[in-house]
Amino acid sequence: MIYIEAFFYILFIGLISRIFVINSMLVKYIIIFVVLIPFIQHIDAQELLEDISSIDSLYREDQVYLGVTFNLLANTSNGLSQNGLSGGFQIGFIRDMPINKRRNKAIGIGLGVGLDTFNHNLFIGEEEDGETSIFSIIPSDINEDENRFTFYTLQMPIQYRWRTSTPTKYAFWRIHTGVQLGYVFRFKSTFQQTNNTVIQTDVPELNKLRYGLTFAFGYGAFNFQAYYGLNPLFDSGATINRETIDIQVIRLGLQFYFL
If the chain, 259 residues long, is cut into consecutive pieces of 10 residues, what is the mean pLDDT of each piece? 48 47 49 49 45 60 92 90 93 95 94 97 85 88 91 98 88 95 97 91 95 96 94 93 93 91
CATH number, domain of 174, equals 2.40.160.20
Tell whether 232 and 201 lie within a shared domain: yes
Region label for 131, one of left (φ > 0), alpha (ψ between -120 and 50) or beta (otherwise):
alpha
Distances (CA, A) of 160 to 33, 163, 214, 217: 26, 10, 10, 12
Range of the domain at 23: 1-49
Tell whether 13 and 78 lie within a shared domain: no
Tell whether 140 and 223 lie within a shared domain: yes
Let me know the angle formed at the C-alpha of 178 by 175 and 179, rounded to the nearest 5 degrees. 150
Q: Which residues contact 79 (CB under 8 A, 6 or more apart)?
A: 121, 137, 240
pLDDT score recorded for residue 25: 54
Please choose, from the candidates 66, 199, 67, the residue with its C-alpha nearest in 3D space to the C-alpha of residue 123.
Answer: 199
Tell whether 6 and 128 lie within a shared domain: no
Tell whether 68 and 178 lie within a shared domain: yes
Is residue 143 one of the residues assigned to a domain?
yes
pLDDT score recorded for residue 239: 92
pLDDT score recorded for residue 16: 43
Q: For the chain, what is the domain count?
A: 2
pTM strictly above 0.75 = yes
Is residue 236 one of the residues assigned to a domain?
yes
Q: Which residues contact 247 (CB under 8 A, 6 or more apart)?
A: 73, 74, 75, 76, 80, 232, 233, 234
The Cα 189–Cα 229 span in angstroms is 20
Residue by residue, DSSP assigns 86-154 as -EEEEEEEEEEEE-STT--EEEEEEEEEEEEEEEBSEEEEE-TTSSSEEEEEPPTT---SEEEEEEEEE
pLDDT score recorded for residue 77: 80
pLDDT score recorded for residue 241: 87
Please choose, from the candidates 155, 164, 211, the residue with its C-alpha nearest in 3D space to the C-alpha of residue 62.
Answer: 164
